[in-house]
Amino acid sequence: MKKENKSVIIWLLSGCVLLFLMVVVGGITRLTNSGLSMTDWHLVTDTFPPLTEAKWNEAFEQYKKFPEYQKINIHNDFQLADYKFIYFWEWFHRFIGRIIGLVFFVPFVYFLIKKKLDTPTIKKCIVLLAMGGFQGFLGWFMVRSGLIDNPDVSHFRLSLHLTFAFITFAYTLWVALDLIYPERNINRIIPLRTIARYALAALLIQIIYGGFVAGLNAGLIHNHWPLMSDGEFIHESVFIEQSSLVKNLIEGKSGVQFVHRTFAYAVVAIILFLFFKSKKYALTRTQSNGINILVLFVFIQFLLGVFTLLYSVPLALGLIHQVMAFFLLSAMTYTLHRVSK
């Protein structure tokens, strides 16, 4: 690491921490059904929650005009105190998003003025700023889908919002790693790089389907492992919920869960393949550490997935499972970087 890059690296890694925190809070928001509590979006006036009881009642009355209250919560003796709870998590999620915007933009301008960024890093940071703005749009695009008729967000939009957050995090980490390890690695191993790229693609597919499972609440059925309900590897419900096989596998609760739980084996298998293939090469310490941690994390994540399913997605396990996906993606990004550059 070059000394002059230290402050830039700290900045980028701080962004990674904030993105991690935002996804964690986003997971809590989803698991507590808080995502539709704020029915509008304003850049400035929503920065802080209502500060008086009158403002709280005004926000609550606005919430009552939308499907989630009219079709679900009106039947649950839903009071202002309940509304304040779900409002907090959605507000906190958006508040962190605003903080991330400031943390990325203000130091970026400062580093530009101080000429601390070279041209390649400037280009990467501009991409990061664009990705952050697009992520904010995806959040509102997702919420809008639950404010019209159906009191639940589209699982496609939720997965897109979640997956793009993971991708933004991974790219931010990659840019930081470029500065942490500025010298080209003479020990680049092309076969391992190829396998690692496939492993990253498989992991992203699994994250996409994790978003589908969350959006459809598909973890609340077939709470058995290693087989689905009735002792079947592929339960008959996988094929009958929707009008076609493709729709069943992307829109049916059973089909989406089947893909997610089954594709987990593929993710584990390709990471194990990378591990055993790496034994044929003389690895650097960073390459070896990256691969070993990656194997450890994928097994932890697999076990967390199993227990989250068996216990019907309790809040704590569901959240830990999502957090571990972040650690797994971090290890995957680090490993790919170390065998590539």
Could you report the per-residue pLDDT of 132-147, keeping only the tens digit for each? 989 988 888 888 887 7
pLDDT digits (tens, 9 = 90+) for 183-228: 776 677 899 999 999 999 999 999 999 999 999 999 999 999 999 9
Instruction: Please state the φ and ψ torsions of residue 313, each to the nearest 5 degrees.
Output: 55, 60
Percent of the chain exceeding pLDDT 70 equals 97
- Helices and strands (H and E) in the chain: how many: 11, 0
- For residue 106, pLDDT beyond 60: yes
Question: Mean pLDDT score of the chain, rounded to an integer?
Answer: 91
Please compute the mean of the pLDDT values over residues 81-99 and round it to a whole number: 91
Residue 77 exposed, middle or buried by CB count within 10 Å (0-12, 13-18, 19+): exposed
What is the residue extent of each domain of the chain? 1-182, 186-340
Q: Token digits for 194?
A: 């190829």
- For residue 30, pLDDT beyond 90: no
So what's the pLDDT on residue 47? Answer: 80
Q: Are 271 and 199 in contact (CB under 8 A)?
A: yes
Percent of the chain exceeding pLDDT 90 equals 70
Please indicate if the annotation marks 260 as binding a ligand.
yes
pTM: 0.91
Q: Token digits for 306?
A: 């199993």
So what's the pLDDT on residue 33? Answer: 86
So what's the pLDDT on residue 155? Answer: 92
Please report where in the chains the tokens 């002059």 appear, as a residue. Answer: 4
Q: For helices 190-216 and 315-340, what crossing angle results, to 10°?
A: 160
- For residue 241, pLDDT beyond 60: yes
* Helix or strand run (H / E) with residue 193: helix 190-216
- Confidence bin at 153 (pLDDT 50/70/90): confident
CA-to-CA separations, 297 to 275, 323, 331, 335, in angstroms, rounded: 13, 11, 8, 12
CA-to-CA separations, 15 to 109, 309, 319, 334, in angstroms, rounded: 15, 31, 21, 16
Among candidate residues 289, 285, 324, the one with its CA nearest the CA of residue 203: 324
N- to C-terminal Cα separation, the chain = 14
Q: Are 77 and 185 in contact (CB under 8 A)?
A: no
Amino acid in the structure at residue 260: H
Q: What distance in Å separates the CA atoms of residue 206 and residue 200, rounded to the nearest whole number?
A: 10
- Confidence bin at 246 (pLDDT 50/70/90): very high
223 CB-side CA count, 13 A: 12
The dihedral built from the CA positions of residue 24, 27, 32 and 37, taken in this order, carries a sign that is positive
- For residue 321, pLDDT beyond 80: yes
